[in-house]
Structure 1
Amino acid sequence: MNLDTRILIVDDDEGIRSLIGEFLAKHGYETRTAADPLEMRAMLAGERFDLIVLDVMMPREDGLTALRQLGRDAPPVIMLSAVGSDVDRIVGLEMGADDYLAKPCNPRELLARIRTVLRRRAAAEPDAAVTSNTTLALARVADVDSGECLHFAGWRMDLGLRLLFDPTNALISLSDGEFRLLRAFAEHPRRVLTRDQLLDWSRGEDSDHYDRAIDVQLSRLRRKLADGQGGSDIIRTVRNEGYLFVPSVGPTN
């Protein structure tokens, strides 16, 4: 079932590369290995991969630096690190990792994480294609508005059409999970929200997987807001408490 799924394992420890590679191969995945980020980039330039398992602690260039340099079209990434603190995990997710696992890890847990990330990506891609085609078409129509909108800091969130526009009226493409999460924030502005509250208010039909994915959804949502005009400080982290949606929200401009 996984014969067409190709995984790239990047680690400076040859023993770990071999162990992970052989284990995943036994479960039907095609695996390749790279000893450092330089070799990883060379392989990515010439081959297709569906997922990268990337070590953090490597000499010369660490995994986080390598992760930062990956483009938007890069395959999903699971980080492995001997430093397994919450701060390091959050930093990895904020930088674009799809999951983060502390070393030494049980190969079966890594396998489960890989399957979850690949399943999540496969589920998102058809939705993203439909959303992209729909939103591009809608973006060509002047003053797209369902009449059911929230406004904050010059942004417009159309709840009916499930679209988000920045203050320049540029369309910001969001996945279904990202839109639900932003709606939870916008409907509870200017108050600190805990992770559990965000889960309660934004989970969809796939709630079992969403529990594990919300950190990724949040980091991606914040990056997309930052890509828009004036969106870099819309969602603020409140240390040891949760997250704060900074602007006030109104139904009209």
Structure 2
Amino acid sequence: MEKTILLVDDERMITEVLEAYLIKEGYNVVTSDNGLDALRKADSVKPDLIVLDLMLPDISGEEICRLLRKESDVPILMLTAKSGEEERINGIVIGADDYVTKPFSPKEVVVRIQAILRRTGKQAPQTDDQGEILTYNDNELILDLTKKEIVYRDEIVSVTPIEYKLLSNMAKYPGRVYSRMDLLEKIQEDGISYEGYERSIDTHIKNLRKKIESDPREPKYILTVFGMGYKFGGVPDAKNASR
């Protein structure tokens, strides 16, 4: 099935070039040059991924990302002229899945889009996850690996694709200690180098704890192993459902 990419940038030359490259790769492309229009199209078109420029004439890309994350887990690739570590980490904090710094190669953008779609499960089905449901602590936490949903205390939790990837990988092996680099490799799985991202794992873990821990300061699911990394502390239920 053809994937739809929403390109949001007020520089016409950028959208035209990226659109041409993406169409050549078989994607359906919708474009927007301002924030309000982008939000409307994101709601009506339901794109598989959004390429979002941070510098827009009406609403900042950061604010658009925050608004989208309240309603959707659509993958977001940010385009930014800011190359500092603080700016990159802030983009991850508010929900972006990746970023590309201007000026950039259109080919790199296409490769990163393909990589995001692969690791978020929107490019190809994860056959090893089909039909599997994992439950912990008397059904307090449920991971439906088929639907890629997380349920905490009977409510579906809205998580970003990266947060889902982190939790699902850790939950499959309770007690196993993962270094930050281990977790970084789990969410990448595409051979692309992401400088500075190792530190951003802490940010994703912090955000995830807010969503699945009754007290994030005293977590029972995502535990810190000092000097080493993190491990999943949930207790698997005796009868997990599987295919």
Given the two structures, how large is their TM-score scaled by the length of structure 2? 0.66
After superposition, where does 1:145-224 map in structure 2 within 5 Å? 175=164, 177-180=166-169, 197-200=179-182, 208-209=189-190, 219-224=203-208
Instruction: Percent identity, please.
Output: 24
Q: Does structure 1 residue 6 correspond to structure 2 residue 1?
A: no
Question: Which residue does 1:151 correspond to in 2?
Answer: none
Task: Using the TM superposition, give the Cα deviation of residue 130 of structure 1 relative to its aligned residue in structure 2, in angstroms.
Answer: 4.3
Displacement of 1:107 in angstroms is 0.4
The answer to whether the 8 Å contact 1:7/1:49 transfers is: yes
Say whether the 8 Å CA contact 2:183–2:201 is kept in structure 1.
no
CA-based RMSD: 4.7
Offset, 1:81: 0.3
| 3-state SS, counterpart of residue 209 of structure 1 | coil
Matches within 5 A, 1:54-203: 54-70=52-68, 71-121=70-120, 122=122, 130=131, 134-135=133-134, 138=135, 143=138, 175=164, 177-180=166-169, 197-200=179-182
Shift of 1:49: 1.0
Distance in 2 between the 1:72 and 1:210 partners? 30
CA contact (8 A) 2:36 2:58 kept: no
CA-to-partner distance for each residue in 1:128-161, whole Å, 9 max, x for gaps?
7745xx24xx47xx836xxxxxxxxxx99xxxxx
Indicate if the aligned counterparts of 1:7 and 1:52 stay in contact, CA closer than 8 A. yes
Change (3 A) 1:21 1:243: farther
The structure with the larger Rg is: 1
- Give deviations 1:167-193, integer Å, cap 9, x for gaps: x898979745435458999766xxxx9
More helix by share: 1
Q: What secondary structure does 2:41 align onto?
A: helix
The answer to whether the Cα contact below 8 Å between 1:226 and 1:232 also exists between their aligned partners in 2 is no
TM-score (norm 1): 0.64
Pick from 225, 231, 251 the counterpart of residue 209 of structure 2.
225
The 5 Å alignment of 1:10-49 reads 10-49=8-47
Query: Number of aligned pairs?
Result: 217
CA positional deviation for 1:124: 7.2
Q: Mean alpha-carbon deviation: is it higher for 174-183 or for 105-114? A: 174-183
Q: Which runs of 5+ in 1 are unaligned?
A: 145-154, 157-163, 236-241
Corresponding position of 2:241: none
Please give the alpha-carbon distance, in whole angstroms, between the structure 1 residues aligned to 2:111 and 2:172: 30
- Residue 11 of structure 1 and its aligned partner are, at CA, apart by 0.8
Write the deviation string for residues 2-33 of structure 1: whole angstroms up to 9, x where unpaired.
x7111110011122111211222222221111
Letter in 1 for 2:13: G
Corresponding residue for 1:147?
none
In the TM superposition, residue 62 of structure 1 has moved relative to its aligned partner by 0.7
Contact preservation (8 Å) 2:8, 2:32: yes
Q: Say if 1:182 and 1:221, in contact at 8 Å, map to a contact too.
A: no
